[in-house]
Amino acid sequence: MKMEMKIKMKIFSLAWLLIPLAIAFMPRTPALTPSDGNGIDLIHKTCNHTAEYNLCVALLQSDPRSLTADVKGLASIMLDLTLRNTNQTLSQVKELLKDTSLDQRIKQCFLTCVEVYEKTTQLYIPAALNSLQTDSYADARKEGSDAFTTVQTCGRELVKSGGLDKEPAIIDRNKFDQHLASLSLDIIYILG
Ranges of beta strands (E only) in the chain are: none
Q: Would you give per-residue pLDDT tens digits along the chain (192 residues)?
A: 555 555 555 554 544 444 443 444 343 333 333 333 478 899 999 999 999 999 999 999 999 999 999 999 999 999 999 999 999 999 999 999 998 888 888 889 999 999 999 999 999 999 999 999 999 999 999 999 999 999 999 999 888 887 656 677 888 999 999 999 999 999 999 998
Predicted TM-score (pTM) of this structure: 0.79
Q: What total number of domains does the chain contain?
A: 1
In whole angstroms, give the CA distance from residue 43 to residue 161: 39
CATH number at residue 87: 1.20.140.40
| Domain span holding position 134 | 2-191
140 vs 184: CA distance, rounded Å: 10
